[in-house]
Amino acid sequence: MTVHFPFDNSYARLGAAFSRPTTPTPVAAPLLLKLNRPLALELGLDPDDLNSAEGAEILAGNHVPPGAEPIAAAYAGHQFGHFVPQLGDGRAILLGEVIDRQDRRRDIQLKGSGPTAFSRNGDGRAALGPVLREYLVSEAMASLGLPTTRALAAVATGEPVYREKLLPGAVLARVASSHVRVGTFQFFAARGNDAAIARLADHVIERHYREAATAPNPYRTLFECVCERQAVLVARWMQVGFVHGVMNTDNMSIAGETIDYGPCAFLDTYDPATVFSSIDRTGRYAYANQPVVARWNLARLAECLLPLLDPDEKKAVETAEATLASFMEAFEAAHLDGFRAKIGLETSRTEDGALIHDLLALMAREKADFTSTFRGLGKAAESEEAEAVVRALFDDPIRFDQWAIRWRARLKFESRSPAERRRAMDAVNPAVIPRNHRVEKALAAAMAGDLAPFERLNEALARPFEDRPDFAEYAGLPPKHEMPYRTFCGT
């Protein structure tokens, strides 16, 4: 039997400047821990074929399937504000691209599949914990309806990786609409290679922004589209309490997908200054700073695109600045719309911004749980008695009551029935998110050889907008922690 992948590798065809042909390094004992069967089907792959010894060999990188042209992509990037002219796929190898059942081009990449020309001092490997973490969280994001890379499979390698201590190794098979990053453009800009920038921009337009192809200035439209998608993406992150944690320019997908699930995590208690990553000492990538950082990253992209925007440099700068100036407006609009829906508003009134702002400020001050507050508001929108559950989330519930009076007054301007409003709110306010304490428990069990908690959490996260009594424990609040939650890049 041979697992068939319908490969068509447009990125490999871009040429030698963009990537290096790289064969994955075989691992000792590939064992398929988790296969995403629905995603395999979407990709036009046979999940039964993949769920085999040969499938595990392929997904671990031991066997390169026919039609694959494995490459490591070149890219640069600003890491915490410092430019590194060469990063690249140091521990990921793009097997190739398939055209999925809905005619979308999707990358299949193996993360942790051995050293590449871009590994620098790294081993090219990934540890089991971070691989399963990315699996859980990226799939949770997809189920929440956010643009994201996906997880096709997690394979144990049967080999240790050397970090602060010895850890079991794994490979993640990751799927993305592409892996082009802001940092990919920066790689060529740093080398003054304008021809490569144009070629890359054309590739991105063809792949992600066809509407730009026929615009009067395709590259200008491309930049506008990228900014728009990022604005919406960051707004949506914030609407589910997501903190990316390492928004370096090499971790910002040009397609507007969430990518690079290293130190990311979700808020429990709402605090806009939340930083989870142990290496983010200045709060550069804090929850509330995400739009500011996205804009900063897009300014770096604009610098790369200047030669394409206009032959006259002054005009090119003006064009880029005008678009960047509208980024915050686009973000604010998406943010306001999203939170309007979260508090059950269908129409818009001038006081809505203040109503939302005041709720969030109150949640921060009174240490309310982000997810439970909004989910609870949906119930309270249907029946006033249910308001008791929400107010109990606030340290000082009386302050919530004062806000709720304003909220109910505002709802009087709306025409939906309470039941309809509840349904609409439940569709945007998840009951279940990957809560940190749950993720940690599932990973700890997996490290000890028990995948059952990982499987169950994964199942709980698959239908986040439903109240499922069987999975009620995943909607519950974490135990009170003395120490703030911290994540580690775990590379």
C-alpha 60/C-alpha 93 separation (Å) is 11
Should residue 159 be labelled a site residue for ligand AMP when binding is judged by CB under 6 A? Answer: no
Applying CB under 6 A, the span of 122-130, 206-214, 377-385, 469-477 interacting with ligand AMP comes to 122-130
The single residue listed with the structure tokens 């990537």 is 19
The single residue listed with the structure tokens 């009170």 is 480
Q: What is the dihedral of CA 88, 89, 91, 92, to 10 degrees?
A: 170
Q: Which of 10, 119, 193, 217 binds ligand AMP (CB under 6 A)?
A: 119
Q: Which of 116, 230, 251, 371 binds Mg ion (CB under 5 A)?
A: 251
C-alpha 243/C-alpha 251 separation (Å) is 13
Q: Which of 46, 54, 123, 332 binds ligand AMP (CB under 6 A)?
A: 123
452 binds, among ligand AMP, Mg ion, none (CB under 5 to 8 A by kind): none
Applying CB under 5 A, the span of 204-212, 258-266, 283-291, 389-397 interacting with Mg ion comes to 258-266
Applying CB under 6 A, the span of 87-95, 215-223, 378-386, 400-408 interacting with ligand AMP comes to 87-95
Q: Which of 24, 90, 344, 376 binds ligand AMP (CB under 6 A)?
A: 90
The least CB distance from residue 163 to ligand AMP, in Å, is 9
Q: Which of 257, 260, 280, 387 binds Mg ion (CB under 5 A)?
A: 260
- The closest alpha carbon to 354, from 368, 339, 366, belongs to 339
Q: Which of 30, 96, 114, 124 binds ligand AMP (CB under 6 A)?
A: 124
Amino acid at 431: A
Given 250, 260, 271, 426, which residue is catalytic? 250
Amino acid at 15: G
The tally of CA atoms less than 13 A away on the side-chain side of residue 10 is: 17
Should residue 262 be labelled a site residue for ligand AMP when binding is judged by CB under 6 A? Answer: yes
The tally of CA atoms less than 13 A away on the side-chain side of residue 202 is: 8
Q: Among this protein's residues, is 352 annotated catalytic? A: no
Contact letters for Mg ion, residues 199-218 (x by CB under 5 A): --------------------
Tokens (6 digits) for 44: 């036009």
3-state secondary structure of 173: strand
Relative to beta strand 242-243, strand 166-176 is: unpaired
C-alpha 54/C-alpha 459 separation (Å) is 26
- Do 300 and 274 contact (CB within 8 A), yes or no? no
Should residue 89 be labelled a site residue for ligand AMP when binding is judged by CB under 6 A? Answer: yes
Residues at the contact surface with Mg ion, assessed by CB under 5 A: 251, 260
- Catalytic residue positions, numbered: 250
Task: Tell me which residues touch ligand AMP (CB under 6 A).
Answer: 87-91, 118-119, 122-125, 246, 250-251, 260, 262, 489, 491
